[in-house]
Amino acid sequence: MFRIRKGLLSDYEQVLEVYKDTYMRHLENAPHHFRSTEVPMIQSNFEEVIQSENKELFVVVQGDDIVGFVMIEGRKTSPWKGQVERNIILIDELCVRSAYSAKGIDHHLFHKVKNHAKKIGADEILLDIWDYDQERLHYMQERMEMHSKMRRLSLILDE
């Protein structure tokens, strides 16, 4: 059985290992945005998440092992061009070890985020998904009841 808890500074090495699964998929499918490196998550950035007042890390632990995590950031949108000010939660990373996929861990992590968002008075949860990851897109729409509300378009300029 697994449990979800807040992340600790001492979790860096295990979280890095979990992230490497996701990073390798990104590197393969979005090479214009990811560079090859042995350490795809900088420790100081990880520490900032742990120490920040508007960011959270939740980890999924089975025994002594971290098998998944979610990094989130709370933001207040500014009322720009007539838009309504909102308190949002942005999911920066939601990762599960590939050996534990299809076991409901991401579902539990998402509900942890949802409950946290409600607790702090957020209006909305946002998640960016790469176009190549259609399986995750369909999963988040069907199982987590998320809806696409806009698309970010890109044009890679030749150097």
Could you tell me if residue 157 is inside a domain? no
CATH code: domain of residue 89: 3.40.630.30
Q: Is 137 within the bounds of a domain?
A: yes
* Domain span at 138: 2-142
Residue 21, burial from CB neighbour count under 10 angstroms (0-12, 13-18, 19+): middle
Which residue in this structure is represented by tokens 């949802």? 114
Residue 158 resides in a domain: no
In a domain, 85, yes or no: yes
Question: Nearest to residue 156, comparing CAs of 28, 37, 30?
Answer: 30
Distance CA 102, CA 122 (A): 28
Q: Which two tokens stand for residue 8?
A: 């600790």
Domain annotation covers residue 71: yes
Total count of domains within the chain: 1
- In this prediction the pTM is 0.89
**Residue 66 domain-assigned?**
yes
Residue 88 lies in a domain: yes
Residue 57 belongs to a domain: yes
Map tokens 């996701």 to a residue.
Answer: 22
The one-digit pLDDT tens for each residue of the chain (159 residues) are 899 999 999 999 999 999 998 898 888 898 888 888 888 899 999 999 999 999 999 999 999 999 999 999 999 887 777 888 889 999 999 999 988 888 889 999 999 999 999 999 999 999 998 888 888 888 888 888 899 888 888 888 876
Contact call for residues 71 and 92 (beta carbons, < 8 A): yes
Q: How many CA atoms lie within 13 A of 29 on its CB side?
A: 12
E-strand stretches of 45-138: 55-62, 65-76, 87-96, 124-127
- In whole angstroms, give the CA distance from residue 99 to residue 117: 28
